[in-house]
Structure 1
Amino acid sequence: MWLFRSLPALVVASGLFASAAFAHPHIFVDTALTLRISAKGELLGIEVTWVFDDLYSLVVLEERALDPDFDGELTTEELASMQEFTQEWIGDTAGDLFVTQDTTTLPLGAPTETVTEVSQGRITTRHLRPLTAPVAADGLVIQAYDPTYYTAYLVGSRVTLPEMDACSVTVTEPNFDLAYTLVEETLYAMSSAEAEENFPKIGQSFADTIRISCALGS
């Protein structure tokens, strides 16, 4: 997953490390994607908005000793602390955002334009993932997922295009029956210790699939 790798004490205390619990995400993120497409029909980058679930937001705020009055809002100084936190990328990570052309995964640049907000107790972060080189948007496939499925990114219809008639997107929901069959075939065959040490990469099976179509010049 992206930056919140340490397991919150609240989750550990709840006993979620039973083997069956590995099949379910522990963090839920309402995800919005704004596609930056040039007049030439090239994808330049993707603005990503994450709104974290209430429970995880509460855990993060408590761990960082923020929002002591529990009003769900942060002061300017507290937001500055969160801004630093959301820029703590972990090692070699794809940022849980994947853009593919045919079967090739395209490289994305480091996040820029990062913004953090807290409203009604939920943490919202925004950042831009530029492509390292612009590429024709037509036919590209975008998915947001944590390969280990520790975090679930829920996209649905929250995909925004620039105001141009030439491009459109289709969003296909995952086939959950097939996804959970994959879990049964891979995850449940492992012990809890094995799963914790080398968790199978099942996250993509649970991801929404966004396909871009452009008809520039037609």
Structure 2
Amino acid sequence: MTVQRFRCRVSGAILSLLAGMPTAAFAHPHIFVDARFEAIAGADGTLLELRDTWHFDDLFSSSVVMDFDKNGNSVLDGAELTTVAGTVRDSLAQYDYYTSITVNGKKVPLARPDTIHATYENGSLILSFSQKPARRTPLKGLIVFGVYDPTLYTALDFLKDDALKTTGEGFKRCTRKVVRPGSDDILAANQAMLTTLFFSDPQGTDYSQIVATRLEVRC
């Protein structure tokens, strides 16, 4: 498999892999990730940094090994991991690295990660990286953090609430809660929207935000 086809896998843009199939058929996860997220605040009450760690499922990890294991030792190491990390950094830029932040309903732009670190442990590909706000971001009002794939091709799961963390002096004056939308609540609150999305947005780019686990912080 070429680097370009791997990019398609990671980003969810898989039409080039399975040409001719209906786009709506891809509106469910094919890659599963055990995710960790941490937001860091400064003593001045501003958002400083976001840190993500993704543990990919064994099936997807093994397919990456098959594609990038150039020395044939059945693992990813050295230059192979560097190539994987660089590919992900390039391909996920258009999806903002699956990260969404709003402050009082306004989206916060994020700078591109300087680098993505890749490791391979116990049969799992692990990626970690950090992002910083593109501008000074005071933590005032309602701040919502979400980490999700807008195409629904990759499922980023936070298995426990403490997988979504806030650290730093600036968060000590804030309250936080992890929101896991239930199917009944989603349907009740968004029935009209979901009907529209079914016909106008088969890739699920808005629906994915509705169903995603999120961290809400109020300062």
TM-score range, shorter chain: 0.7 to 0.9
Match for residue 32 of structure 1 among 33, 36, 39: 36
Alignment partners' CA distance in 1, 2:8 and 2:108: 18
Aligned counterpart, 1:47: 51
Aligned counterpart, 1:141: 144
Retained in 2: the 8 A contact 1:29–1:151?
yes
| Runs of at least 5 residues in structure 1 that lack an aligned partner in the other structure | none
Q: Deviations over 1:117-164 (max 9, x none)?
A: 111121111111110122222421111112221111112421222254
Alignment partners' CA distance in 1, 2:173 and 2:109: 25
- Please show how residues 107-118 of structure 1 align to structure 2 within 5 Å: 107-118=109-120
2:114 pairs with 1:105? no
Match for residue 216 of structure 2 among 190, 211, 215: 211
Retained in 2: the 8 A contact 1:86–1:116?
no
Q: Deviations over 1:83-138 (max 9, x none)?
A: 33232235633221110012211111111242111111211111111101222224
SS class of match (1:171): strand
1:185 offset after TM fit, Å? 3.4
Retained in 2: the 8 A contact 1:51–1:124?
yes
Aligned counterpart, 1:4: 10
Match for residue 167 of structure 2 among 159, 162, 165: 162
| Runs of at least 5 residues in structure 2 that lack an aligned partner in the other structure | 1-6
RMSD between aligned residues:
3.4
Q: Deviations over 1:9-35 (max 9, x none)?
A: 9x95xxxx5788534211112221111
Matched residues, percent identical?
A: 24
Alignment partners' CA distance in 1, 2:155 and 2:125: 15
Structure 1 length normalisation: TM-score? 0.75
Higher helix share: 2
1:51 offset after TM fit, Å? 1.4
Cα distance 1:94–1:2, how it changes in 2: closer, same or farther (>3 A)? farther
2:154 pairs with 1:151? yes
Structure 2 length normalisation: TM-score? 0.75
Alignment partners' CA distance in 2, 1:105 and 1:151: 22
Retained in 1: the 8 A contact 2:93–2:112?
no
Alignment partners' CA distance in 1, 2:63 and 2:15: 7
**Partner amino acid for 2:114?**
T
Cα distance 1:108–1:3, how it changes in 2: closer, same or farther (>3 A)? farther
Aligned counterpart, 2:181: 174
Alignment partners' CA distance in 2, 1:91 and 1:114: 12
- Please show how residues 55-204 of structure 1 align to structure 2 within 5 Å: 55-65=59-69, 68-70=72-74, 73-90=75-92, 92-138=94-140, 139-155=142-158, 156-157=160-161, 158-164=163-169, 165-179=172-186, 185=195, 195=202, 199-201=203-205, 202-204=207-209
Cα distance 1:39–1:2, how it changes in 2: closer, same or farther (>3 A)? farther
Cα distance 1:54–1:92, how it changes in 2: closer, same or farther (>3 A)? same
Alignment partners' CA distance in 2, 1:143 and 1:95: 11
